[in-house]
Amino acid sequence: AWESTKKFGMCAPVGNTYNDIGCVLQMQDLEMLPDGRCMIQTVGTQRFRVLEKKSKDGYHVGKIEWFDDDAEKDAELNADGSTDELIAAVKSRLDPISPQHLRMANEQLGQMPTDPALLSFWLARLVGMEAPEILLR
């Protein structure tokens, strides 16, 4: 299935299992490396919540439900100022981070987006970075 759609779901690892929130990733580019590994470039397309978890053929699989990422709702959030307040709150949480760690986050993730539809994906990637306790103290 994923070979034809070039889509797969991913959740952040939590110990020997995974988080209950994830994102569908659409493959943009695939580069095979000489040692058999591959580099995959993806874009997040839709968020989901995991309802049931199990293992199948050595892979974590689960039953999911989709988040309702409605552009009209995002516009409403921006119109009443709550998204602007959220962005300001996130920036204030990032202020105490050392310049070195902030530079590392910006290099890996790009600048924090102001588009509310992209902000949650950026934050999810930030949380998934190495040493999140340093980045999100």
> What is the DSSP annotation of the chain?
-HHHH-EEEEEEEETTEEEEEEEEEEEEEEEE-TTS-EEEEEEEEEEEEEEEEEEETTEEEEEEEE----HHHHHHHHHTTHHHHHHHHHHHHHTTS-HHHHHHHHHHH-SPP--HHHHHHHHHHHHTSS-HHHHT-
Contact between 67 and 50 under an 8 Å Cβ cutoff? The reply is no
- pTM above 0.75? no
Going from the first residue of the chain to its last (137 residues), give the mean pLDDT of each consecutive group of 10, the final group possibly shorter.
Answer: 76 82 89 92 89 88 82 53 69 73 77 76 71 42
**What was the pLDDT predicted at 133?**
39
**What was the pLDDT predicted at 136?**
41
Contacts of 137 (CB under 8 A, 6+ apart): 96, 97
**What was the pLDDT predicted at 20?**
87
**What was the pLDDT predicted at 83?**
66
